[in-house]
Amino acid sequence: MTAALRIDGLYKRFGERQVLNGFSLQVERGEVVGLLGPNGCGKSTVLNIICQLLQADAGQVQLMGQPIMEKSTHVRARIGYCAQESGLYPDLFPQENIQFFARLYGVPAAQRSARVAEVMERFSLVPYMATRTGLLSGGWQQRLSLAVALVHRPELLVLDEPTVAVDVQARMDLWRLIEGLRDSGTTILLTSHHLAEAQRLCNRVALMRDGKVAVEGSVPELISRVPGQAVAKIQSEDKQAVIQRASDLGWPVRQHAGKISLFLPHHLSLREVVDALDGAKASAVSVDPVTLEDAYLELVGDSTGVPKIL
């Protein structure tokens, strides 16, 4: 079976800046793939090219086996797009916004009302039918934005940092909705700043650096590439003593944003870590299982793109 989305060697330059530098990625049908990377690494540029909001300088994008580089309304009708700003009409009621976009996407008149009702129901928007969109909270607007993106039943759903502008509760709600879409087999490509979001929602993640995919794989695969089962994060006045002691124990040491991370060969309790450090004074210690964030920092690096390996 052909991939839902296949991107080969995308290049894009803005002025002097080479934003995409041979970006390639494949998304299988029914898969949720997360595109992660620091600000300005080109995540949104990739999505904009897929949605035909931007033209690549070189490279090819195929949707369900068909090239989509040429301007085509037919291609746009097969994609659902939801950005970080909801992009909705504030004076319309939620169902009117959905109805409007259903018409733009060519949903047949005979099916339109049923489709609008279906997504209103699915996204629990029915109680807000009498509330103008502009009066909905950010989280509910984003929920509506997702409903709008799905009303024409797209073959690919593109989510550009969908939860960046909402509060924690709304983010959790949106995660549950996206999980529901994933479980029902919707193909999704999303970008996110929240590594926990990608860890929870994605079957696979692609970590970007220097305008291309640096590493990709499932979350467990990426985590397995971290040299440890758990990570102890230490704050200390005497960092050198901690680093020396950890090295003596054979624990790989990393330093990010003034914090020391020690990769432990197996999960240890807080007490066991403190005892093992034996005299190296630590002001704060936490021990957690390795997360995607640890894998990201290990494999791609921090905001400067450089992992600080000691």
Partner 1 sequence: MSPSGLLLDQTLAVSQRLLLEQWRQRRGLIFWVVFPAAMMLLFGLVYAHNANMRAGLDAAAAGILMGAALFFSCLGGTVSIIAAERERRTLRRLLASPLHPAAYFLGVVLAQMALAAAQVLMLYSIAWFIGARYHGSLLLGGLILLLSVFVYVGMGFFLGAHFARRSEEVVVALSAIGVPLLVLGGTFFPLEIMPAAMQTAAQLNPMLHMNQAFKGVAAYNFGIAELRFELTFLFVFCAISLALGLKSYRYLLLADQKI
CB 87 → partner 1: shortest distance, Å? Answer: 4
Please work out, in degrees rounded to the nearest 5, the angle formed at the alpha carbon of residue 238 by the alpha carbons of 236 and 239: 70
Pick from 42, 46, 94, 101 the residue near partner 1 by CB under 8 A: 101
Pick from 91, 183, 275, 278 the residue near partner 1 by CB under 8 A: 91
Q: Which of residues 49-68 bind partner 1 (CB under 8 A)?
A: 51-54
C-alpha separations of 148 from 12, 86, 94, 145, 190 in Å:
29, 10, 9, 5, 16
> Beta strands 79-82 and 17-27: pairing type?
unpaired
CA–CA distance, 149 with 147 (Å, rounded to integer): 5
Q: Which residues contact 89 (CB under 8 A, 6 or more apart)?
A: 96, 97, 100, 133
Q: Is 11 in the site for partner 1 (CB under 8 A)?
A: no
CA–CA distance, 181 with 226 (Å, rounded to integer): 30
CB 190 → partner 1: shortest distance, Å? Answer: 15
Q: Is 163 in the site for partner 1 (CB under 8 A)?
A: no
Q: Which range in 22-30, 95-103, 120-128, 187-195 contacts partner 1 by CB under 8 A?
A: 95-103
> Beta strands 188-192 and 156-160: pairing type?
parallel
Tell me which residue has tokens 């991939």.
3
Residue 61's DSSP bridge partners are 7
x/- contact string, 112-151, with partner 1 (CB under 8 A)?
A: --------------------x---------------x---
C-alpha neighbours within 13 Å on the C-beta side of residue 289: 6
Q: Is 177 in the site for partner 1 (CB under 8 A)?
A: no
CA–CA distance, 291 with 186 (Å, rounded to integer): 25
Pick from 22, 87, 217, 305 the residue near partner 1 by CB under 8 A: 87
Q: Is 40 in the site for partner 1 (CB under 8 A)?
A: no
CB 62 → partner 1: shortest distance, Å? Answer: 18
> Beta strands 66-67 and 79-82: pairing type?
unpaired
Tell me which residue has tokens 């440890």.
228
Q: Which range in 23-31, 80-88, 247-255, 259-267 contacts partner 1 by CB under 8 A?
A: 80-88
* 112 contacts 132 by C-beta, under 8 angstroms: no
Q: Is 307 in the site for partner 1 (CB under 8 A)?
A: no
Tell me which residue has tokens 């996110």.
192
CB 149 → partner 1: shortest distance, Å? Answer: 9
Dihedral sign, Cα of residue 24, residue 30, residue 195, residue 162 = positive
CB 185 → partner 1: shortest distance, Å? Answer: 23
> Beta strands 230-235 and 259-264: pairing type?
antiparallel
CB 154 → partner 1: shortest distance, Å? Answer: 11
Q: Which range in 45-53, 169-177, 206-214, 254-262 contacts partner 1 by CB under 8 A?
A: 45-53
* 205 contacts 27 by C-beta, under 8 angstroms: no
Q: How many residues bind partner 1 (CB under 8 A)?
A: 31
Pick from 28, 100, 255, 305 the residue near partner 1 by CB under 8 A: 100
Q: Which range in 100-108, 175-183, 246-254, 266-274 contacts partner 1 by CB under 8 A?
A: 100-108
Binding site for partner 1 (CB under 8 A): 48, 51-54, 73-74, 76-77, 79, 81, 83, 85-92, 96, 100-101, 103-106, 108-109, 132, 148
